[in-house]
Structure 1
Amino acid sequence: MPNQIFDAFIFFCLCLWSLSGVFGVDDAVKSVSVTEGESVTLNSDLTEIQTDDLIMWRTVHNSNLIATKENYKIDFPDVRFRDRLKLDHQTGSLTIMNTRNTDSGLYTVSSSRSETPLNTFNITVYARLPVPVISHSSKKSPTSSNCSLVCSSVLNVSDVTLSWYAGMSVLSSISVCDLSISLSLPLEIQCLDDSYSCVINNTISNQTTHLNTQLCGPCSDFNWCCGFTEAVIRLALSALVGVATVAVLVYEFRSRRSLQQKKREQTPSNSD
């Protein structure tokens, strides 16, 4: 019974020790961002640990012990991280593999040779971003000749920005912190005269979809089709100019011929 009380007292002290180290020195907390499913390594900042050193990794929110190392023995007592943790034998650094959204939070590492935690980390695990989908907008005005599009993200994500780009320039964007419905962003263009794309991004990653010319034709086709009236007008003007030019030439030719004929009539013949 005394041993159980002593163990409980030691555990309580370690909890207070970890919590005081995290909340007492805010500037010592290191922020780490990772995409869900990827691995992240939390460094203990130790170059080498002694054989009899006790290294302990904990989650701060519930002070759960998740990894320990002592006398070459490594243990991972938290079943939530089963088969997803690695502990470096020499430095005591911890690697979390196949990260999940539930892994987000504060972590602290301590050593039996130090009175304060060695490091404290704030991990943020971001969900994998869906590829945005570009389609024709169902809200197109019947009187509009523009190409009406909408870019949407059909999966639930958070802390993201959805943007329309023309080349490297942002045309429009929308940002959300917490999303429980699909996100969409409309766009109207006359024709595909640039590299239009829709991009969804967060702090550490992005997904891009480029506009398909089948949705909006290139401007060369657009100008040929929609500039038909202008082309007819130009052709008619050219024809009028041509007719006027011919008329002037004919008039000039006839005037000269008439003038020459009058000169011959006024000139006396040699027989006189």
Structure 2
Amino acid sequence: MYSIRRNWFLTLDLLLLSLLVTSMQDSSELEKIVLSGSNVTLQISESLPENATSVTWLYTIKQKIVEYEQSRPPKYFDSAFKDRVKLDLQNAALHIYQVRKGDNGTYYLRVIKDEIKQWKISLKVLDPVPTPTINIEKIEESDGNCYLKLSCVVEDPFVDYLWYKDSGPFPMELQRSTLEVTVTPHNQSKSYTCQVSNLLSSKNNTLYFTPPCTLVKESVFLASTSTPYSSTIKHWCLAMRPQLDWTNPTLLHINTTF
């Protein structure tokens, strides 16, 4: 008799769980991209149900970060986020401080009132790009022309490369880690710059030459940026039109008035 009742209750629990899963509304996934070491707020755009009985944030579907139930203080679970998160009780936003690369992944906001509603937010954490090093692989001069091969080295495989000279960027087909050009009297340049960037940050390095290919000064760094990718174009423009004071070979003046 006890076994029959136990099985009956187990069946009832499974049925209730099935109903909850059926009623769970899973909206489209949002995405946030941030730099490591920064702070981020995970928040949905729509209004939450009033007087929800339970609000829970999870990392992946299994690991609870924080849970709030009516008339009780939020409960922060023992996880990698402990002491780095705070739940906003007004809008259920989750504040994460000092974001780490290990925080990459999908976060779930689960709200229970009459039914379960759930939202997903994908968090992508990028490191600021390191400053690249430009190596001279080959210089070969002949009859006033020069074959120049430069490599742009950076300790990050997930970056985009942009090479440019005094007059502007090189064609798209040359935009990779290694630059190979034949310098003639018609396309000479006093500087060659490699810019590396990801979605949120960029850094430059420049080599300066006396045309056609005599190195003047090595590894002069232009201003590094940690800005939204949309503003990187502005920094490209700044770097593409430097005005250099060549009267003092030890002092390179870069005018970056935009």
TM-score normalised over the length of structure 1: 0.58
- 1:165 aligned residue: 164
Q: Identity over the aligned pairs, expressed in percent?
A: 21
CA distance in 1, matches of 2:116, 2:191: 54
Q: Which region of structure 1 is more displaced relative to structure 2, 122-131 or 188-197? A: 188-197
CA distance in 1, matches of 2:175, 2:100: 28
Superposed counterparts of 1:205-220, under 5 Å: 205-209=201-205, 211-213=206-208, 216-217=209-210
Structure 1 residues 53 and 168: alpha-carbon distance in aligned structure 2, compared to 1, 3 A threshold: farther
3-state DSSP of counterpart to 1:82 = coil
Superposed counterparts of 1:89-100, under 5 Å: 89-100=89-100
Question: Following TM superposition, by how much is the alpha carbon of 1:57 offset from its aligned partner in structure 2, in angstroms?
Answer: 0.4
Please list every run of at least 4 consecutive aligned residues from structure 1 whose deviation after the TM superposition is greater than 6 angstroms: 48-52
- 1:232 aligned residue: none
Q: Report Cα offsets for 1:74-94 as digits up to 9, x if no partner.
A: 222142112211211211100
* Matched-pair contact (CA < 8 Å) for 1:17–1:117: no
3-state DSSP of counterpart to 1:117 = strand
Question: Following TM superposition, by how much is the alpha carbon of 1:107 offset from its aligned partner in structure 2, in angstroms?
Answer: 0.9
Question: Following TM superposition, by how much is the alpha carbon of 1:212 offset from its aligned partner in structure 2, in angstroms?
Answer: 3.4
Q: Report Cα offsets for 1:94-125 as digits up to 9, x if no partner.
A: 01222222211111101122624342111111
Match for 1:31: what amino acid?
Answer: E
TM-score normalised over the length of structure 2: 0.60
Match for 1:201: what amino acid?
Answer: S
Ranges in structure 1 where 5+ consecutive residues have no aligned partner: 175-183, 223-272
3-state DSSP of counterpart to 1:83 = coil
* Matched-pair contact (CA < 8 Å) for 1:49–1:91: no
Q: CA RMSD in A?
A: 3.7
CA distance in 2, matches of 1:114, 1:170: 60
Structure 1 residues 48 and 112: alpha-carbon distance in aligned structure 2, compared to 1, 3 A threshold: closer
Question: Following TM superposition, by how much is the alpha carbon of 1:33 offset from its aligned partner in structure 2, in angstroms?
Answer: 0.9
Question: Following TM superposition, by how much is the alpha carbon of 1:186 offset from its aligned partner in structure 2, in angstroms?
Answer: 2.7
CA distance in 2, matches of 1:38, 1:88: 18
Superposed counterparts of 1:51-200, under 5 Å: 53-60=53-60, 62-70=61-69, 71=71, 73-113=73-113, 115-137=115-137, 139-141=138-140, 146=146, 148-158=148-158, 160-166=159-165, 167-171=167-171, 172-174=174-176, 184-188=177-181, 190=183, 193=189, 196-200=192-196
CA distance in 1, matches of 2:72, 2:182: 65
Q: Which has the higher strand share?
A: 2
Q: Which has the higher helix share?
A: 1
Match for 1:134: what amino acid?
Answer: I
Structure 1 residues 112 and 163: alpha-carbon distance in aligned structure 2, compared to 1, 3 A threshold: same
* Matched-pair contact (CA < 8 Å) for 2:129–2:197: yes
3-state DSSP of counterpart to 1:102 = helix
Q: Report Cα offsets for 1:142-196 as digits up to 9, x if no partner.
A: 75852735242331332x212212354344223xxxxxxxxx4234364863664
